[in-house]
Amino acid sequence: MYFQDRYLTDEQRLMRDTCRRYVDGVVVPFLRENRTREWDMDPTARLVPEILEEADAAGLRGLGVPERFGGVALEPTALSQTLALVATELARGDSGLADKLVQNWKISVLISQLAPEHLQEEYFARYNADPQFLMAHCLTEPRGASDRWLPYNAPSVNMDTRAVRDGDDWVINGRKHFISNGYDASLFVVYANTDDAVGLQQGTSSFLVPRETPGLEVVRCNETVGGRFMNNGEIAFVDCRVPGDHLLAHNDALAKAGIYFRPGKVLVAAKSLGIGVGAYEETVAFVRERVQGGRVILHHQAVASRVADMATRLEAVGALLRHAAVSVDEGSPDADVLCNMVKVFASHEVVAVCKNAMELHGGYGAMLEVGIEKYLRDALINLHSDGTTDVSNFKIVQAMFPETVGSYAG
């Protein structure tokens, strides 16, 4: 699959092996001993601090942080490929944990590209000093989410969250929801309208907002069906005053956010692949040991056929994932369309893989203490993560037939 040795550099092989030791030695034992812990309704009590502390000790939190600020140096010409590899391994253990760390990686890259040097020094120092320090990317709003990524670039689809200049500061008012890491984050990248007279692409700015800023309130944790070790949140901004130097991008924030979004699609697909690989590995172990009808159930043709189907789907996802990640690293013109393709393809194929895994476990597949049902719940989240599959399909068609731009979604 995607992480086979023949495709990897020495650096990538080292990162894979480091992550694999962490997942198998820390994450998997925790999950097996705490099957119902993700259902604790206190979001702060779900994931024990040691999980992120061990990730920090393994160097997995420093990906995306510039080396001069204590981060882990990665080969820039293979950055998306390496991050996809590590995200796949992490999601094989737990997709919610993978999402916690993936958000940090992507936002670290964004900050390193857009923030002034003194803010990079300040916030990366805080990040490095605290293994529980998480970051969140605040774009989605109650009135608009994936649909805003269609090309209806008009004032009527602008952000409801607004930022107004007041002296040397910016004052932000609005609300963001469905925000990954939103409930726990210590630092937020916030998008807001700063020019009502123009379209979304020309009138949206982004700001770096620490959690302790007056006027920023984390309102609630959104209780999701899967990925529950990442606490999705809703955030309100009421006269939230941000210093002028915390402006990351003025009026062209969405264009500059491509360094976050393009690899983001690849990483959603990588997390899907990791979920599928985890479900496949546990299912193979089960069907090679379980005896029904006088024989190991893998020897029943119906079971063997399903296992073959699962493996084939995962190989196909891995191949397209590798292709998309390489296109991003090379700056290929087809990178955008490939990123959307792999995000959609991976999410659907892995749901099918996890459905097979659950069914091959029979009644055990529905039992919390066995844990196979968790893979299906986690896989379902990626149908909606980083854009819905329908909107992603619209973007694929728009890239293939640019003369039709603007004619979709009614």
pLDDT tens digits along 275-333: 999 999 999 999 999 999 899 999 999 999 999 999 999 999 999 999 999 999 999 99
Mean residue pLDDT of the chain comes to 93
Q: How do residues 80-119 score in pLDDT, each as one tens digit?
A: 999 999 999 999 999 999 999 999 999 999 999 999 999 9
pLDDT at res. 150: 60
* Mean pLDDT on 58-77: 92
pLDDT at res. 410: 41
Q: Is 409 a residue whose pLDDT tops 60?
A: no
Q: How do residues 138-159 score in pLDDT, each as one tens digit?
A: 999 998 766 666 656 666 678 8
pLDDT at res. 147: 63
SS (H, E, C) the chain: CCCCHHHCCHHHHHHHHHHHHHHHHHHHHHHHHCCCHHHCCCHHHCCCHHHHHHHHHCCCCCECCCHHHCCECCCHHHHHHHHHHHHHHHHHHCHHHHHHHHHHHHHHHHHHHHCCHHHHHHHHHHHHHCCCCCEEEECCCCCCCHHHHCCCCCHHHCCCCEEEEECCEEEEEEEEEEECCCCCCCEEEEEEECCCCCCCCCCEEEEEEECCCCCEEEEEEECCCCCCCCCEEEEEEEEEEEEHHHEEECCEHHHHCHHHHHHHHHHHHHHHHHHHHHHHHHHHHHHCCCEECCEEHHHCHHHHHHHHHHHHHHHHHHHHHHHHHHHHHHCCCCHHHHHHHHHHHHHHHHHHHHHHHHHHCHHHHHCCCCCHHHHHHHHHHCCCCCCCHHHHHHHHHHHHCHHHCCCCCC
pTM of the model: 0.94
Domains assigned to the chain: 5-129 (1.10.540.10), 135-251 (2.40.110.10), 256-404 (1.20.140.10)
Q: Is 405 a residue whose pLDDT tops 80?
A: no
pLDDT at res. 74: 86
More confident residue, 391 or 237: 237
* Mean pLDDT on 374-384: 96
* Mean pLDDT on 385-395: 86
Q: Is 184 a residue whose pLDDT tops 80?
A: yes
